Amino acid sequence: MAALLEMRGMVKVYGALRANDGIDLDVFAGEIVGLLGENGSGKSTLMKVLFGMVEADGGGIVFRGRELSGHRPGEAMAVGIAMIHQHFMLVEAMTVLENIMLGWPEAGKLLKRQVIAEKIREASRRLGLDLDPETRVADLPLGRRQRVEILKAVLRNAELLILDEPTSNLAPAEVRDLLVVLKRLRSEGKGIIFITHKMPEVIEACDKVVVLRAGKVSGKAVVSGADKAQLAEMMVGRDVTTPYVMKAPEKGAARIGMRQLAAKSIGPLDLDVRGGEILAIAGVDGNGQLELAETLAGLRRADAGTITLDARDITHATPANRTKAGLAYMPADRSMTALVKSMTIMENLMLRDIQRPPYSLRGLLTMGFARRRAEALMSQFDIRAASPLTKAGSLSGGNQQKIVIARELARQPAVLVAHQPTWGLDPGATRFVLERIIALRDAGSAVIYISSELEEVLAIGDRVAVLAGGRLAGLVTRNEVDMPQIGLWMSERAA
């Protein structure tokens, strides 16, 4: 049987970078292909070429027996290729029905609402999508919105669906449902390209995987014959699954302490973290994680209680004074808070230190120092870019986060508050970030590590706490962790 999609020797060059350097990819009808690779390995470029968002510099694409070249996204859609983006392209104020009719010739000039609504109901039943055409998109949870996108693609007769990290914004239950939907689509004979970093999903859903590294195919495997460690190693070329070393809880004084701390939607909280210890805080997103992190960082006002850092009261200190006192903070929001994407790597590396010598003397910038410092940090933290004057936004997600971690750790802080520091990173970059945080702990700092990825919390925390409804539902050392208990804590809601 001929493949649904054949890509042969794809080449795409950006300046000196060969983003795609002779990649072959086949997808058959009724097959889910996992496309893996670190950030910057060329996955996105390959998919943009396939969908016609950028033009290839070499190679050929054959889709359903027809040559595709120099095409645009509109033509790709017309021949049956659909792309489900990470950020949905839906009009929130409109209903599911209206979103699906939008820009679809089959809806007719005089919109055939009833006909299309019936089609939506029928397809929704068949695929188990559970979508009502009259619901407003704004009222749907993220997992359902994604199904609207999938439904849109299916109704427009897409034969090949590209899903770009479809699970990164979903809750665990939604991920399971999505995988079920994908399997149904497979049984209807659709081809699916599934981009992800998450091994369990690959093993659960994919038939085969193609791993990219530095613009080339570095490995191919049939999933039933590969295991998790093998796949991860194929992806980064080194072992990333060895567990992290845990440390027994320290006996020393608390480096950061909270007493009856309360702010909007959190508290009261009582918590101490000692030097040489990582306290990992688990919990379902939206249970006060952001509020806690920002209150500690001084970006939100504490309504009651105190925060102490090395026995100093910092409850009402400004963010700048907290930084000076030794508090480092890695915000979850990388694109708007932790980094200024349109500024250079150098400027981002000094973002939080600019008001202090030696970055500025009596208010005047010392650019020579900043430049040397930036070069040193770039090599120390392996930030890969042409120059310190490269814009931060042009780097891959992993390299962007390395800027943040370099800036925050280079100060040798007493305390680090890290919120979702590995979100969206590939296994290699995740490993890098976690290892740096562990090294900081080993040097005697206290770390508060907040993440909704339970697996990661359990892997890195010396003690594990669960935040639910803005309060601590439970707190145990790592070797006392009892999974069902953690699960119960996570589902607890403060009264």
336 sits near other proteins (criterion: CB under 8 A): yes
Query: If binding is defined by CB under 8 A, does position 339 make contact with other proteins?
Result: yes
Based on the shown chain and the rule CB under 8 A, indicate whether residue 491 belongs to the binding site for other proteins.
no
Out of 93, 365, 389, 443, name the contact with other proteins by CB under 8 A: 365
Give min distance, CB of 486 to other proteins, in A.
27
Contact 182, 216 (CB under 8 A): no
Minimum CB separation of residue 54 from other proteins in Å reads: 11
Q: How far is the CB of 347 from other proteins (least distance, A)?
A: 7
How many Å apart are CA 92 and CA 90, to the nearest integer?
Answer: 6
- Smallest gap from residue 389 Cβ to other proteins (A): 14
Shortest distance in whole angstroms from residue 351 CB to other proteins: 5
Task: Kindly tell me which residue out of 239, 333, 382, 482 binds other proteins, with binding defined by CB under 8 A.
Answer: 333
For residue 338, state whether it binds other proteins (rule: CB under 8 A).
Answer: yes
Q: What does the per-residue mask of binding to other proteins show for 261-300, with x meaning CB under 8 A? A: ------------------------------------x-x-
Site string for other proteins, 145-174 (x = CB under 8 A): -------------------xx--x------
Q: Which of residues 188-207 bind other proteins (CB under 8 A)?
A: 195
Identified binder of other proteins from the candidate list 218, 323, 344, 451, rule CB under 8 A:
323
Q: Which of 15, 66, 67, 87 contacts other proteins by CB under 8 A?
A: 87
Nearer to other proteins, 43 or 255 (CB): 43
- Which span (124-132, 228-236, 316-324, 444-452) binds other proteins, by CB under 8 A? 316-324
Peptide bond into 427 cis (omega under 30): no
419 forms part of the interface with other proteins (CB under 8 A)? no
Which residues, 6+ apart, have CB-to-CB distance to 349 below 8 Å? 370, 373, 374, 377, 388, 403, 406, 407
Q: Which is nearer to other proteins, 148 or 195 (CB)?
A: 195
**Residues 25-54 close enough to bind other proteins by CB under 8 A:** 39, 43-44, 47-48
Q: Which of 424, 427, 428, 461 binds other proteins (CB under 8 A)?
A: 424
From the centroid of its chain, how far is CA 102?
29
354 in contact with other proteins (CB under 8 A): yes
Closer residue to other proteins (CB): 92 or 482: 92
Q: Which is nearer to other proteins, 187 or 318 (CB)?
A: 318
Kindly state whether residue 372 participates in binding other proteins, applying the rule CB under 8 A: no
Interface residue with other proteins, options 194, 381, 423, 432 (CB under 8 A): 423
Site string for other proteins, 387-406 (x = CB under 8 A): ---------xx---------
Which residues of the chain form contacts with other proteins (CB under 8 A)?
A: 39, 43-44, 47-48, 85-87, 164-165, 168, 195, 297, 299, 318-320, 323, 329, 331, 333, 335-343, 347, 351-352, 354-355, 359-360, 363-365, 396-397, 423-425
